[in-house]
Amino acid sequence: MGVKGALTNLKVLDLTRVLAGPFCTMMLADMGADVIKIEQAGRGDDTRFMGPFQKGESAYYINLNRNKRGMTLNLKDPVGKELFLKMVKKADIVTENFRPGTMEKLGIGYETLKEVNPRIIYAAISGFGHTGPYKMRPGYDIIAQAMSGLMSTTGWPGGEPTRTGTAMGDVLAGLSCAIGILAAVNSRNITGIGQKVDIALVDSAVASLEIINMIYLVEGRVPQRIGNRYESTYPYDSFKASDGSLVIGAANNKLWQSLCQVIGKPELAEAPEYLEVKDRVGKHEELKVIVEEWTMKHTVQEAFDLINKAGIPCAPIMTIDKIVNDPHIAGDREMFVKTNHPIAGELTITGSHIKLSDTPTSIRTHSPLLGQHNAEILEELLGLDIEKVKELEGKGVL
Amino acid sequence: MGVKGALTNLKVLDLTRVLAGPFCTMMLADMGADVIKIEQAGRGDDTRFMGPFQKGESAYYINLNRNKRGMTLNLKDPVGKELFLKMVKKADIVTENFRPGTMEKLGIGYETLKEVNPRIIYAAISGFGHTGPYKMRPGYDIIAQAMSGLMSTTGWPGGEPTRTGTAMGDVLAGLSCAIGILAAVNSRNITGIGQKVDIALVDSAVASLEIINMIYLVEGRVPQRIGNRYESTYPYDSFKASDGSLVIGAANNKLWQSLCQVIGKPELAEAPEYLEVKDRVGKHEELKVIVEEWTMKHTVQEAFDLINKAGIPCAPIMTIDKIVNDPHIAGDREMFVKTNHPIAGELTITGSHIKLSDTPTSIRTHSPLLGQHNAEILEELLGLDIEKVKELEGKGVL
């Protein structure tokens, strides 16, 4: 690609589909890796058919697959398999998120690939991982959120276990897989050989809960759903204002005392029943009423301005329409970036959150059309000419 | 440390406290990096005072800081600062999660450190990042969950915006920082120089929402709280059983048809009103009633067994007490590991979710006692003898 980035030396053969895997390789591509997305001939990634759509093109796909090159390949065809194995010789990393055993059935499992190229790093994402009694269970995001305990601790007292409003299991696994791959790249620089990275959605979600886990492991108490408040300090919660809600994080004594001033109750700062963090946690119900009495008299913006001016952590509970136009988030932090797609046209997509000073991430190319780079990639990697590529396309190998 | 791992060549000077930063360096340490946790002389990381406690020791701290070595250092003392700068010459990575500008005030900002050691990789985690109008705002996890839109899309129709039941903003930032650091390590192998990694809790949470973001960016529709169901397919939701709840992910037509058999309504498999995914999404309310009529007649275990046997993704909504004893999660996947701490004694902590075949992660040493490795580290890195270390401890430099 010839573009500056932290990972321009790495070539990835990316067999992943849908969300967790493509989210991982999106980050690698944003950092300059040459990610070759290999899609099912004639159909492509399932997300090509998932909304939201712009001019018939999936924005789901466009967002997750920017900066990648695309080719089609029929891995069930012996010629397709042979092409893939030849490409593995030229690659650094292979990624997949099939069910465990699928790659072996295709004859391209890790044991085969490492014989072809001992330097290859093989990264797999699956619901439950490649070992253990549940490994063959299919693992969508909601399964991981349920199995890990994440749902059991999200929501309101007396209410139902609640799914986090994004596919967090997939996102956590995608991030974790990128860490595993880059650690294996570092290790390969020392040992000269690659290895297998085995990331499970469930493991990744379990790891995200470690403070929660420790409560049970040490105290034997099963953590409950406690709404928006926090077990270890108060006021650290959401509060209703006249036109919406905001969150306040007055986590320590000094911030609590400041908050008492802001809400016009300076006498509470010295009140013995609220003096220490543990006192306030114990009295969270009455403190919520006291703070909310004040916040309800203000708009979110008024309350935020007054609390923020006093140096107390607080924030409006933002909705997506505000966030994508926020001067900090969309502006300085470039978390939303305008891009162009040959069919969908102009479109704003999510920026990269990995900010590197010397090799900044960038959005350089739009997501590939199905098979867009077949000829380019096969010539570059295997020296095939355009006639050969057309022949393979005609035979359904590509 | 002499122990096998993917990152044994990397030395980290870790100034991070509380959760996001220590979660990042925990993963690096689990993969074999030599992480030297530098704590405030006389006090240490705030989490040493946060529960849950076992024999007076914080399990919060013990879990997040295993595999790290610990020293104390007073960075406000000129001698302490000089020692730190000498250590930077011998290190690969410096991590911190102070408010932006704090390191500069201490005279050890990135510009200073890179003069001392141009190969240093400097990784900062903050609430809002090191650029932009909000950069000086304090950013606890709840602030990031509110500002990013995560809370606005988690919860129930008609209900309140809901905080995910773990410090997800911190966890996402910790994972993202590890990615940035390892990408910078790769880049340094090519360029010979380090760089700054600037990770924001808010950016990391925004990135986790990208499908949700795209709905607004393409359709102009602000995504709402929709409980446990999913916008793009149905039945993909939680359902009540006689003794709890379970989740079912019958995401496509084939799985829907199988589910109709399991729940004893084979006629629905062919019913035109439920034939396609979009039909079922539109009729999610009545489908929830139909599926729940069946699940309510069974225990979670019975319903799970029948649905799972039919190859349909499903899972009980597990609570922490079940998860830490689960034969797959705690057993084969080793997500909970028994360890020993000299004061707290035997304790189970969270395992690593980054599974590497050739350089497996491991829990080798317990979290450091305050200043435990002062002498060892200062002799190893700077050649100081024990008398000198004792003198520095006496003067409050360590």
Q: Measured on CA atoms in the order B388, B390, B396, B397, is the torsion positive or negative?
A: positive
How far does the CA of residue A36 sit from the closest CA of chain B (Å)? 19
Closest chain B residue to A191 measured between Cα atoms?
B6
- pLDDT category, B139, cuts 50, 70, 90? confident
CA distance A149 to A212: 9
Determine, yes or no, domain membership for A42. Answer: yes
A interface mutation test: which of B191, B222, B333 has the most A CBs within 10 A?
B333
Contact B206 A140 (CB under 8 A): no
Range of the domain at A52: 11-208+353-394
**Which residue in the set A127, A195, A358 is minimally distant from B359, CB to CB?**
A195
Same domain, A176 and A47: yes
Domain identity same for B22 and B68: yes
Query: B338 and B272, same structural domain?
Result: no
Is the pLDDT assigned to residue A78 strictly greater than 60?
Answer: yes
Contact A142 B249 (CB under 8 A): yes
- What's the pLDDT score for residue A210? 76
Binned at pLDDT 50, 70 and 90, residue A223 comes out as very high
Q: What residues in A contact B230, CB-CB < 8 Å?
A: 142
- Asked whether the beta carbons of residue A185 and residue B186 sit closer than 8 angstroms, the reply is yes
Q: Single out the residue in A297, A318, A339 at which a domain terminates.
A: A318
Give the pLDDT confidence score for residue A4 in this predicted structure: 80
Give residue-wise pLDDT tens across range B159-218.
999 999 999 999 999 999 999 999 999 999 999 999 999 999 999 999 999 789 999 999
Report pLDDT for B211.
84
Task: Examine residue A347 and state whether it is found in any structural domain, yes or no.
Answer: no
Q: Tell if the CB–CB gap between A318 and B176 is shorter than 8 Å.
A: no
CATH code for position A178: 3.40.50.10540
B20 and B162 assigned to the same domain: yes
Q: Measured between beta carbons, which residues in chain A are less than 8 angstroms from residue B324?
A: 213, 216-217
CB contacts of B232 in chain A (<8 Å) are 50-51
pLDDT tens digits, one per residue of A181-210? 999 999 999 999 999 999 999 999 999 997
Query: How distant is the Cα of A386 from the closest Cα of chain B, in angstroms?
Result: 34
Helix (H, G, I), strand (E, B) or coil at B252: coil
Give, in degrees to the nearest 5, the angle at Cα B319 between B318 and B323: 75
pLDDT value of residue A3: 47
B383-395 burial code (b ≥16 CB/10 A, e <16): ebeeeebeebeee
Residue B99 in this model has a pLDDT that exceeds 70: yes
Is position A342 within any domain?
no
> Beta-carbon neighbour count of residue A321 at 10 Å?
15
Active-site amino acid positions of A = 170
> Given a cut of 80, is residue B114 above it in pLDDT?
yes
CA A256/CA A258 separation, integer angstroms:
5
Torsion sign (Cα): B43, B48, B50, B56: negative
* Run of H or E residues at B13: strand B11-14
Judge whether B247 lies within some domain.
Answer: yes
Same domain, B151 and B254: no
How large is the average pLDDT for residues B369-383? 98
This model of the complex carries an ipTM of 0.97
Using a CB-CB distance cutoff of 8 angstroms, which residues of chain B are in contact with residue A246?
146
In chain B, the residue whose alpha carbon lies closest to the alpha carbon of A213 is B320
pLDDT digits (tens, 9 = 90+) for B254-301: 999 999 999 999 999 999 999 998 899 999 999 999 999 999 999 999
Nearest CA in chain A to B154: A165
How far B277 CA lies from chain A's nearest CA (Å)?
Answer: 11
CB within 8 Å: A333 and B54:
no
Residue B314 sits at φ, ψ, to 5 deg, of -160, 165
Residue A334 lies in a domain: no
Span A115-149, pLDDT tens digits: 999 999 999 999 999 999 999 998 899 999 999 99
Q: Where are the beta strands (DSSP E) in A40-112?
A: 53-54, 57-58, 69-72, 93-96
Does residue B157 share a domain with residue B25? yes
- What is the average pLDDT value for chain A, to the nearest integer? 96
User: Within this chain, do residues B203 and B293 fall inside the same structural domain, yes or no?
Assistant: no
Q: Look at B356 and A161 and tell me if their CB atoms are within 8 Å.
A: no
Amino acid A255: pLDDT: 94
Query: Cβ contact (<8 Å) for A227 and B163?
Result: yes
How many interchain CB pairs under 8 A, A with B? 481
Q: Which residues pair with A316 in a beta bridge?
A: A246
Which of A274, A292, A318 is the endpoint of a domain? A318
Q: What is the pLDDT of residues A90-120, one digit of tens each?
A: 999 999 999 999 999 999 999 999 999 999 9
Q: How far apart are CA A178 and CA B179, in angstroms?
A: 7
Min distance B252 CA to chain A CA atoms (Å): 11
Q: What pLDDT sits at residue B50?
A: 86
**Residues A22 and A81 occupy one common structural domain:** yes
Which residue reads 């439950």 in tokens? A128
A280 and A203 part of one domain: no
pLDDT band at B29 (very low <50, low <70, confident <90, very high): very high
Task: With CB atoms and an 8 Å threshold, state whether A180 touches B228.
Answer: no
pLDDT tens across A287-297, in order? Answer: 999 999 999 99
Smallest CA–CA distance, residue A373 to chain B, in Å, is 26
Residue with tokens 């065809």: A77
What total number of domains does chain A contain?
A: 2
CB-CB under 8 Å, B210 with A151? no
**What is the CB neighbour count within 10 angstroms for residue A46?**
17
Determine whether the interchain pair B150/A164 forms a contact, defined as Cβ–Cβ distance below 8 Å.
Answer: yes
Residue linked to tokens 């039945």: B235
Which chain B residues contact residue A348 at CB under 8 A?
217
Asked if the Cβ–Cβ distance from A350 to B214 is below 8 Å, we say yes
3-state SS track over A307-367:
HHHCCCCEEECCCHHHHCCCHHHHHHCCCEEEEEECCCEEEEEECCCCEECCCCCCCCCCC
Residues A117 and A242 occupy one common structural domain? no
Q: Are residues B335 and B302 in the same domain?
A: no
CATH number at residue A289: 3.30.1540.10
Closest Cβ–Cβ partner in B128, B185, B353 for A204: B353
- Of A178, A154, A164, A152, nearest to A26 by C-alpha is A178
**Across residues A206-224, what is the average pLDDT?**
93
Interface residue of B43, B63, B163, B324 to substitute, partner A, most A CBs within 10 Å: B163
CA dihedral in degrees (B18, B21, B22, B23; nearest 10)?
A: 110
What pLDDT does residue B2 have? 37
Domain ends where: B276, B292, B318?
Answer: B318
Q: pLDDT tens digit string along A226-252?
A: 999 988 789 999 999 999 999 999 988
Active-site residues of B, by number, are 170
Least CB-CB distance to B189: which of A60, A189, A316?
A189
Q: Does residue A364 carry a pLDDT above 70?
A: yes
Average pLDDT, chain B: 96
Contact A197, A178 (CB under 8 A): no
* 3-class DSSP assignment, residue B60: helix
Same domain, yes or no, for B285 and B310?
yes
